[in-house]
Structure 1
Amino acid sequence: MAETFFQVVVRYTVKAGEVSTVMALLGEMAVATRAEAGNMAYDFYQGVEDPTQIVILERYTDAAGFAAHREYEHIERIGALQIIPRLASRSIQTFENASDA
């Protein structure tokens, strides 16, 4: 049987001139998030064709792990106060693994 997990896919479009700042802040966010008890992975990627496009792939042990993640102080301090104001748009999708492969 496959390991169960809760996957989060976040997409950002970063405002012009803010990409390097957002990438640095995501580095800080990654360190803090990877230290969370329910986190299994936190990786982010910058678009090759369009560097303002960023995708974040987060994996948690379950939905409760993701809910707990949203309550950590670094989400407010880094995410809400520093990253979100530098974005033109963002989307968040959540998934549960569905196969035994």
Structure 2
Amino acid sequence: MTSTFNVVARYRTKPGNTEEVLKHLRNMAAETRNEPGNISYEFFRGVEDDRKIVILESYNTADDFELHRQTQHFLKIGATHIIPELESRTVSTYVTANSPAEAP
């Protein structure tokens, strides 16, 4: 049985910075989706509170996620342009067991 390494990041932007953060997240998503170990990278803006953003990422392994955190786009876009514009940030990780596909 294989597994998938999942990341859930919850951001709350500083007042007036949400659009700028979303612009940088679009660039981050495009770059991250091209990483060999990335399965998916999606982000969503809150409806009730439009300063809240949730990011859902999936990687083949925890090592792939660690490699992601060392990429130039993470260091440039994430660490330089996104994280400083946040009021709060939490990152949680989860493992999903992938069952083999059942025959019909």
Q: TM-score, normalised by structure 2?
A: 0.91
> RMSD of the alignment, in Å?
1.4
| CA distance in structure 2 between the partners assigned to 1:79 and 1:55 by the alignment | 14
Bigger strand share: 2
1:30 aligns with 2:29: yes
Counterpart contact for 2:4–2:96, Cα < 8 Å: yes
Percent identity of equivalent pairs: 45
Q: Which residue of 1 aligns with 2:39?
A: 40
| CA distance in structure 2 between the partners assigned to 1:76 and 1:61 by the alignment | 21
Q: Which residue of 2 aligns with 1:86?
A: 85
Q: TM-score, normalised by structure 1?
A: 0.94
| CA distance in structure 2 between the partners assigned to 1:95 and 1:87 by the alignment | 23
Q: Tell me the number of residue pairs that the alignment of Structure 1 and Structure 2 aligns.
A: 100
Deviation at 1:30, TM superposition (A): 0.2
Structure 1 residues not aligned, in runs of 5+: none
Structure 2 residues not aligned, in runs of 5+: none
State the secondary structure of the residue aligned to 1:92. Answer: strand
State the secondary structure of the residue aligned to 1:12. Answer: strand
Specify whether residues 74 and 99 from structure 1 end up closer, same or farther in structure 2 by C-alpha distance, changes over 3 A only.
closer
Code of the residue aligned with 1:45 in structure 2: it is F
Code of the residue aligned with 1:82 in structure 2: it is H
1:15 aligns with 2:35: no
Q: Which residue of 1 aligns with 2:67?
A: 68
